[in-house]
Structures are given as structure tokens and as C-alpha cells.
Chain A
């Protein structure tokens, strides 16, 4: 932690040191695979850069690190660990965490038998479960909000799909003697703020969701340990819910009898009440004005061709590929329009890897008549939810599932 005086001096010195000692790096902004519609400054600011252990990703901010996955990677149904997006709120991130000395503390006033476990016990004492699931940042596509809203200006790549392996949170809570009066489980990780006055990123989930058989404390991702920047050595996995609850570098779970009132719950990650069709609400945190974001909305992304436009000859076939996902109700169907949304035709669904995973789909485009075709894709899930035809604006830019156009020029 820094006090004001040393912070001012230190940052001034760092800026000076930076300009004198480090070379200037050429910006290759024209090569960064950004989608259209982002704030104009993003096109000259974002760069393709690699964090340790990662492939080059779209760097939106160095510190805290916020890096999104380029669209091309979503042609794989599962997102490789080294291409998986990185999202932190605050820059006090440990350089590394030793799994051998790492401990998870389970306690709180609603835990009758609090305890502490290490990684070996977590893996050996609780039945391991594997679940394929999409992890998507609440703010994915914030950069496409109209009007733009402040924050990390994510394009479409603040998400990924992985097979998560870990222990069921309900098994861990059972061992802690969860009392009936427990309302929420408070989640805290090893990372923190730079200044002691900044609210630490601490979240809570309702007890009923903590007890869901799909909610895990995961220690593996796609068969490997979690990458450091994705929460090594263990993180929450809450399939169907947005990433804000998937606490990285988890170190404590506290069962509490009153709603947790930290900044990241009571003020951040909120959506206007009743604007979105959400089944699972977080009632203990709801107010008259707004409610915490919970489930992901049903959505699609065109992944091939990679970009916002493509050209073909009259009659030439173009295989359009993409993915669809939702909060875990499962994708019922995907439709594609080639006329900007007036008429829709069914796409072919690919392999089903589970109701929480990306569902691949494809559509054969072949048009004889020369011209520009506005291609859109939309998914409908098994409870009848579909994508919004126009943006449902909200101040933090959440839940944008408006189909994004691909222009195919037939000439």
C-alpha cells in the first residue's frame, strides 16, 4: 500500500524513468483484430501483447491487466488456456502463488465447523467434478454500447469456454457445517487493490446458488492447472452466471447471515430491475431500482469468416460458422438472416458439449444475385429466450446480445 505522498512521487518518477530509459514501441493498432463499433480511441490504443504464459491477446489495459481473446480463437469450441481472456479490477496481483502453501479458509458466522484446506486436501478429500462451461465477463461487448459507457471497453472476446475440474462448493460447505440461517457466501481472492482506501474486490453469491451441484472450486482448466492470470491455483466456477462471481485466486469463503454490503456487490455489477428476462435472481441483493447481474443472456458470435465483411462470387458457397451460448438452459436453435433480419433460416447445430458450453453452428451462404448482404445470427434457448433485436441500454453496458452484422459482398 502507498500513501499519497509516496504515490505522487513514485508515479512521477516512473513516468520520467519510462520516457528516459525505455524505448518507444511502435503501435501496430491496424493489426489488432478489433470489431467495429468500439470507442474511436480504442483503435489507436489497443495492442496485441502477450502476458507471461499467454499468447498475444488484445491488450486493453496493462495494469490491471485486461486482455481479450481475438475472435479467431472461438473457431475452437474450447478456448485454449493460453488464449483465454484476462480480467482484473485492481492491480495488486501477486507475482505468483505457491500451490503448496496456498490455503482456502472456510468460515463465517453461519459456518458451525470452520476449517482450512490446502490443495492436496481439496483434490483428495472432495469428489472431483468436470464441467464444460462458458466464462463470460459481465462487461463483454460493453465497448459496443450506444451511447458508449465508461469502463473496460470490451469487444466480443471477454469470454471463453473450458472444461473446469474441481470440488463441488456444496461438499465443502457441508464440511463447514453450514447453518440454516446462512444467506450468502462471501468470496475473496488473493489479489487486492493498490491503495488501502480502494474497496477490495470481494463478491458474494446466494446460498442456493452456492449449493448448486454445478458450482465448483476449480483447480484445473482444460486438463491443466489454471493459468496464473485466470486464477491459479483455484477459482470459483458458477456455470451460467457471469464472470464477476467466478472469484480468482480464491482464499476465503465466508457464510454470512446478512447480505454482504461491499462496494462490488451493492454498487457495481447491477442491472436495472425488470429490463432483462432473467430467471435466477439474487433476491437478497435486490433493490427497487436495480438488481445484481446474474445469468448470461442467450447470444451468438460469427467466428468464420473472421471479421465484419467477406466477399464471394455469385453462387459461390461460403461456410459461415459460429458459436451460441446461454445461461445453461441449452441452445434450442440458431437462425441466420442474409437480409438484415427480415427473414431467418435455420443453421445446423454442431456437437453438444453440455448445456453450459459453447454450441457450434454453421450455415451455408450461397447467393446468386450480386450485392451486399447483411448476415445476422440469432439463437433461441430451450426456455424460449432469444436475442434482443435492438440494444437494451443500461449504464454499465451489460447483456448486449444484439446480433452483430457480417456483410457479405457478392460480386
Chain B
């Protein structure tokens, strides 16, 4: 880890409530193209177990709507160019066709 990311990690740990964070075990999502983008963009506000429990009943449009809701309603700072790979990852690994 470089100095900057160590600082950022420290900052996040400080901001996360300790009582909850201490309970949080790593949520392992399926390794596939786009996973890192999902981890970086979604894991700041919520643990990634939300993805597993909400699978695999959503198609591409439904996952797109969820990602849009995170951006437009909850203010998630997701770069628009990252959105397609997030939606594709979720649909391919935690969704359904159609």
C-alpha cells in the first residue's frame, strides 16, 4: 500500500462505526471482469452482501435501475463511464437474461 491509500484506509476505518465494522467479514463476490469496479464504487456505502441476497432475479434493466437509484437518489459518486461495467458484472454474475 502506498502512503496515500494507507491514509485513505485509515480515514475510512475511522469513519466506519467500529462496532459494526468489527463484525464485517470480507464478502467474496464472483471473480469476473468488472469486480474491482463494483468493489470500488459500491462498497463504500454498503457491504457487498446486498448483491448476493438480491440475486439472481434481476435482468440487465433491473440492475441498471438499481445502479441509477444509487447515483440519483443516494448520491453515489460513480463515474458515468464505470456504470456499464458495473451493470454488466451484476447482470452476468448475479442476474438473469431477458
Contacts and interface: CB of A to CB of B under 8 A. Distances in A.
Interface of A: 1-4, 6-19, 22, 24-25, 39-42, 44-46, 49-52, 59-65, 90-96, 143, 147-148, 150-153, 193-199, 228, 263, 267
A22 B8 CA distance: 18
B47 interface: yes
Given A11-B43, A13-B6, A42-B53, A62 B19 contact: no
A195 B22 CA distance: 20
A45 B52 contact: yes
B62 A11 contact: no
A148 B11 contact: no
Interface string B56-92: 1110001000100000011111000000000000000
Contact of A64 (B13, B18, B46, B62): B46
Identify which of B49, B51, B66 gathers the most chain A CB atoms within 10 Å of its CB: B49
Contacts of B21: 63
Contact of B47 (A17, A51, A63, A151): A63
B45 A194 contact: yes
A17 B21 CA distance: 14
A18 B39 CA distance: 11
B94 A197 contact: no
Contacts, number: 171
B15 interface: yes
A39 B54 contact: yes
B23 A49 contact: yes
A80 to B, nearest CB: 19
Contact of B44 (A40, A44, A95, A194): A194
Interface of B: 1, 4-6, 8-9, 11-13, 15-28, 36, 39-41, 43-47, 49-58, 62, 66, 73-77, 94
A180 to B, nearest CB: 35
Contacts of A151: 54
B28 A197 contact: no
Contact of B26 (A24, A196, A263): A24
Nearest to A4: B77
B95 to A, nearest CB: 10
Contacts of A11: 12, 39-41, 43-44
Contact of A41 (B8, B12, B15, B54): B54
Contact of A61 (B40, B46, B58, B77): B46
Contacts of A44: 52
Contact of B36 (A9, A12, A64, A194): A12
Nearest to A7: B44
11 contacts: A13-B12, A16-B5, A42-B52, A51-B20, A61-B53, A63-B46, A92-B17, A143-B53, A193-B74, A195-B77, A196-B75
B81 to A, nearest CB: 13
A15 B43 contact: yes
Contacts of A24: 26, 28
Nearest to A147: B57
A2 B11 contact: yes
B41 A39 contact: no
Contacts of A196: 75
Given A7-B44, A14-B9, 10 more contacts: A2-B44, A9-B8, A12-B36, A17-B1, A41-B53, A62-B23, A62-B24, A64-B46, A91-B45, A150-B58
A197 B74 contact: yes
Contacts of A25: 25-26
B24 to A, nearest CB: 4
A2 B25 CA distance: 22
Given A41-B52, A45-B53, A198-B74, A95 B66 contact: no
